[in-house]
Structure 1
Amino acid sequence: MTTPRDLLIVAIDMASSPPPERGELSLALAGAELIDLLDAQAVTLEGDHIVPGYRPAIADRLLEEAASSFARQAPYESVGDWLWRRGRGLSAAYLAVLEAEGQLTRGRRRRWGLSRTGQTELVDSLDRRLAANRWTSDEPILAVLAAAVGIDDRRTGNSPSVADDAVATVLAAVHDAVRELEAERQRRAIEGAAFDNIWRGE
């Protein structure tokens, strides 16, 4: 299991209605990938810039894609810029992998849809149980990433601390990117409402 897979499973299992926005979730998944790659020593951070290290063997296909996506020569990419680039459509990619593995099944009453025509739910699996165990153990990284996308059922007012400075830098960048995306969505909604009012003569 990887942190992004755990995060997605938790997001599906714990999400209230409406579920997390796909854009915010994609940014958090990219952050989870970067944290796992820091742990594997595939990258390091110089300030807030990502410096690739050696390329370890990575069994997870999407995590391997992430490892191969870094700028390998200076000037290196900032964490924030990489999150935006890597995060584009990432939640859909992870959902597709879970579905291909049989981790998701079509259902009638669950809150997550892979497409406009079908709803999906998680099957009972070892991966799901391991993700649930990590969630209930209050593991700080998963808790902070989940909170970034609005999953904060037991942790309101109790933000867990992360000792590793590089990991803390990534988590802060995820939160900044999520806030930026939310602000942009709100700005577009306001502009759209103002445009509609003009046409209605209000």
Structure 2
Amino acid sequence: MNTARDLAIVALEPSRSVEQGDLSLALAGAEVLDLVAAGALTLDDDRLVPGPKSATGDRLLDEATASLVRQEPFETIEDWLWRRGRELSSAYVDDLEKIGLTARRRGPRFPLRSGRAVPVESPARSRAEERRASGEPVLTALAAAVGIEDETAPPENLTDDTVTTVLAAVGHAVMELEAVRQRRSIEDAAFDNVWRGF
């Protein structure tokens, strides 16, 4: 099960619109959970403790494994989300396109110009949507963090401390990013008002 890839596929559905920064943070969190499941990583409180290096069979997860901080004190989940999350949604979009799980939509007005990447019919797309539709708790919580699902708190049926710790860190990072966006919006509006006054 590849939660990060499933989240990227679900987020790219044509009917959905997500902030790329939010998605990048959630993908970085999903990678932590995927690496824990693969035995490449454990959590010590909020620190990411790398396990033995081993290939996962997924290019981006192998890249994530290689980028883990391997000296003490190990990196915190929050630090990982911000460092690894930088431009991660674009990396997933590119990777999904390379392996044939997405294609660029062509516009009716400009058929030669490629548009947004959307998932193509595939077993991976069906599996990701089935997981989302069934309310699988981890994917549901990550989808909620980026605004795909209505749920705002981790589902109550999550009992794994590692999962709840990672999901809480993702939620906090997304809220922090939204606060930065709002602050910039207010500053831009104030700047515009100053210039209009002259």
Per the normalisation by structure 1, the TM-score is: 0.89
Partners of 1:196 and 1:22 in 2: CA distance: 26
Distance 1:176 1:14, change over 3 A: farther
Quick one: which amino acid aligns to residue 131 of structure 2?
R
| 1:164 equivalenced with 2:160 (yes/no) | yes
Structure 2 residue runs of 5 or longer lacking an equivalent are: 108-112
The secondary structure found in structure 2 opposite 1:138 is coil
Number of the residue aligned with 2:21: 23
Number of the residue aligned with 2:102: 104
Aligned counterpart in structure 2 of residue 71 of structure 1, from 44, 69, 72: 69
Partners of 1:160 and 1:13 in 2: CA distance: 27
The secondary structure found in structure 1 opposite 2:121 is coil
Aligned counterpart in structure 1 of residue 178 of structure 2, from 170, 182, 189: 182
Aligned runs of 1:127-138 on 2, under 5 Å?
Answer: 127-138=124-135
Asked whether the 8 Å contact 1:144–1:160 carries over to 2, the reply is: no
Number of the residue aligned with 2:53: 55
The secondary structure found in structure 2 opposite 1:161 is coil
Structure 1 residue runs of 5 or longer lacking an equivalent are: 110-115
Aligned residue pairs total 193
Number of the residue aligned with 2:8: 8
Asked whether the 8 Å contact 1:38–1:44 carries over to 2, the reply is: yes
After TM superposition, the runs of 4+ consecutive aligned structure 1 residues lying more than 6 A away are none
CA-CA distance at 1:166 after TM superposition: 1.0
Partners of 2:14 and 2:138 in 1: CA distance: 16
Structure 1, residues 133-158: CA drift from partner, whole Å, max 9, x if none? 111221100000000000115x5788
CA-CA distance at 1:106 after TM superposition: 2.4
RMSD across aligned positions (CA): 2.0
